[in-house]
């Protein structure tokens, strides 16, 4: 049986490699995938949205609907893990106390984590805010923010971090992140534009000198902040559920 599967795999691999030889060469501007809309985005996205990094402007503006539901998918994934794993101690009245003098809580580890975590958070905020001009954006920034809390939970214990970042707050905030995204989109409907057509926000923000073009840039920033909030809290709640087996007691 193993021989058969090896043969099938080798045949399939050979077939794929032969097919790969017919692909257009890497970075070919005349490849079929780059012929339809790529030129339009490359030439017009800076004038239309005032965002130099057109990866961000495509993700958050031209294809904003996709990104909104990607955020929703992450939110749903977090909810799914929570419903599958979370076990409540409310009936058993089990008291979970943090362990301040844990022997394996290494001094070097905890002090290093204390110093690294704020740096990570500042960097994450930079990644979120600077996603218009450089690689990055809400998703990556949110993951780094969540990772800083995971680092603290790894080096101290889960209870220490859960004392500062309540589970209930994490859930509510991750919902709020999606709501910010959808709310910015729905605001465009109220202002007479299409859903997620941020340009119409200049009707409200015009008093601050925001033109329809820069309104799209600001709309993207707002949306990225929503994504970052959702991703950050979901990443931490995923870690908390998985590492404690849903008990929320000690973590790793």
- Residues in contact with another protein by CB under 8 A are 26-27, 53, 55-56, 127, 135-137, 139-140, 143-144, 146-147, 150, 154, 235, 238-239, 242-243, 245, 252
What is the Cα 193 distance to its own chain's centre? 27
Q: Which is nearer to another protein, 189 or 252 (CB)?
A: 252
Q: Measured from the CB of residue 168, what is the shortest distance to another protein in angstroms? A: 21
Q: Measured from the CB of residue 95, what is the shortest distance to another protein in angstroms? A: 22
Q: Which is nearer to another protein, 34 or 193 (CB)?
A: 34
Q: Measured from the CB of residue 37, what is the shortest distance to another protein in angstroms? A: 18
Q: Which is nearer to another protein, 75 or 239 (CB)?
A: 239
Spatial distance between the Cα atoms of 128 and 142, rounded to a whole number of angstroms = 8
Q: 200 by DSSP, 3-state: which?
A: helix
Beta-carbon contacts of residue 161 (< 8 Å; ≥ 6 apart):
149, 152, 153, 236
Q: Measured from the CB of residue 39, what is the shortest distance to another protein in angstroms? A: 16
Question: For residue 182, what are the CA distances in angstroms to 60, 85, 187, 197, 223?
Answer: 12, 28, 8, 12, 8
Listed residue (245, 222, 234) closest to 149, CA to CA: 234
The angle subtended at Cα 184 by Cα 179 and Cα 185, nearest 5°, is 95
Q: Which is nearer to another protein, 200 or 238 (CB)?
A: 238
Q: Measured from the CB of residue 136, what is the shortest distance to another protein in angstroms? A: 6
Burial of 14 (0-12, 13-18, 19+ CB in 10 A): exposed
Q: Which is nearer to another protein, 60 or 215 (CB)?
A: 60
């Amino acid at each position: 049986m193993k021989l058969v599967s090896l043969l099938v795999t080798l045949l399939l691999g050979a077939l794929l490699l032969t097919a790969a030889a017919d692909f257009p060469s890497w970075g070919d501007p005349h490849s079929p995938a780059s012929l339809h809309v790529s030129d339009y985005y490359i030439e017009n996205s800076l004038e239309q949205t005032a965002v130099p990094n057109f990866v961000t402007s495509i993700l958050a503006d031209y294809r904003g609907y996709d990104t909104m539901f990607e955020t929703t998918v992450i939110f749903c994934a977090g909810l799914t893990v929570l419903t599958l794993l979370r076990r409540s101690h409310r009936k058993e009245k089990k008291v979970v106390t943090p362990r301040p003098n844990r022997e394996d809580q290494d001094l070097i580890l905890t002090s290093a984590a204390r110093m690294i975590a704020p740096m990570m958070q500042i960097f994450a905020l930079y990644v979120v805010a600077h996603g218009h001009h450089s690689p990055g954006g809400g998703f990556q920034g949110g993951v780094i923010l969540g990772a800083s809390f995971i680092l603290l939970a790894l080096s101290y214990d889960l209870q220490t971090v859960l004392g500062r970042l309540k589970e209930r707050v994490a859930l509510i905030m991750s919902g709020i992140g999606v709501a910010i995204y959808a709310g910015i989109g729905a605001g465009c409907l109220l202002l007479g534009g299409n859903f997620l057509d941020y340009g119409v926000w200049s009707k409200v923000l015009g008093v601050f000198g925001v033109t329809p073009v820069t309104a799209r840039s600001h709309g993207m920033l707002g949306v990225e902040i929503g994504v970052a909030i959702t991703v950050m809290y979901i990443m931490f709640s995923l870690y908390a559920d998985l590492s404690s087996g849903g008990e929320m007691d000690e973590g790793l």
